[in-house]
Amino acid sequence: MTDFDSRRRLAIDLAVEAGALARSMRQGLGTIESKSSIDFCTAADLAVETLVRQRLADAFGDPVIGEEAGGEPADLVWVVDPIDGTTNYIHGTNNWCVSLALVQRGVVELGVIYAPDLDQLFVARRGAGATMNGRAIRTSGLRHGGGAVVEMGWSARRPLAHSLDLITRMIADNIEFRRCGSGAMGLANVALGVSDGYVELHINAWDALAGLLLVREAGGWTNDFLADDGLRQGNVVVACTAELTERLLALEPLRGVA
């Protein structure tokens, strides 16, 4: 039997430790490797991922799939983004985080996201709800009474025209959109109820899995991200307060997403 309680406790401490390490390395970032025109890797990304791998290996011997050093799927595997929102981190803005998810046989069991600059610690355990700084959180339910606000991420992994088409259709349907630069935080904000949805035509598993569990445990809807080898290949992501699901899935670029 997997000891999820011990892993949950360790993941919380580790996310905070990793976030502090990233913060301490922010001055004098050194060489920044460019993976694409909008995708970067700093020395902090590498150092944080190394720390996370080391701690998880020491405590449990668990394997890891990480953004920087890769890894292979296993029965029980951690999926780690050492810094999600690296561009924000580099530019000195606060919307970035450490994201840790634990997947057992294709099911996300734990998700922990820590945003050091915002002092926000999100934790989700499958079947046991989602919290931010220890307080239970829920999706918005559109209770704000205003128009829907949806964050949309994009990357060079899909043709730009497809993302522009999605933005056009959201605006035509009176959905206000945002782009804040961290998929993990975009999803956490849906769980927190300060954003009504998050969509992106392709995102990697390390950016999304912890946040997707948060949204589900906060009462929201998400697509089945791990279908079609999402763990290795990434996938489209749609996550929202349940009241918005039908409207988002009616937008042409998202039709058929399940």
> At its nearest, how many Å lie between ligand IPD and the CB of residue 156?
9
Candidates 151, 200, 39, 19; CA nearest to 97 is: 19
Residue 155 near ligand IPD by CB under 6 A? yes
From 4-12, 71-79, 180-188, 243-251, span contacting ligand IPD (CB under 6 A): 180-188
> At its nearest, how many Å lie between ligand IPD and the CB of residue 157?
7
Position closest to ligand IPD via CB:
153
Which of residues 8 and 190 has its CB atom nearest to ligand IPD in the complex? Answer: 190
Return the structure tokens found at 68: 């920087």
> At its nearest, how many Å lie between ligand IPD and the CB of residue 67?
6
Among 153, 193, 230, 253, binds ligand IPD (CB under 6 A): 153
> Distance between CA atoms of 105 and 116, rounded to whole angstroms?
31
41 within 8 A of 32, measured Cβ to Cβ? yes
Tally the C-alpha atoms within 13 A of residue 54's C-alpha that lie toward its C-beta. 8
> At its nearest, how many Å lie between ligand IPD and the CB of residue 186?
7
Q: What angle do CA 145, 148, 153 make, to 5 degrees?
A: 150
Among 207, 223, 231, 240, binds ligand IPD (CB under 6 A): 207
Length of the chain: 258
Which of residues 95 and 139 has its CB atom nearest to ligand IPD in the complex? Answer: 95
Work out the widest C-alpha separation in the chain, in whole angstroms. 52
> Distance between CA atoms of 257 and 23, rounded to whole angstroms?
37
> At its nearest, how many Å lie between ligand IPD and the CB of residue 229?
17
35 within 8 A of 47, measured Cβ to Cβ? no
Number of residues that bind ligand IPD (CB under 6 A): 15
From 84-92, 131-139, 141-149, 244-252, span contacting ligand IPD (CB under 6 A): 84-92
Residues 6+ apart with CB under 8 A from 147: 174, 175, 176
- Residues near ligand IPD, by CB under 6 A: 39, 67, 81, 84-86, 153-155, 181-183, 200, 203, 207
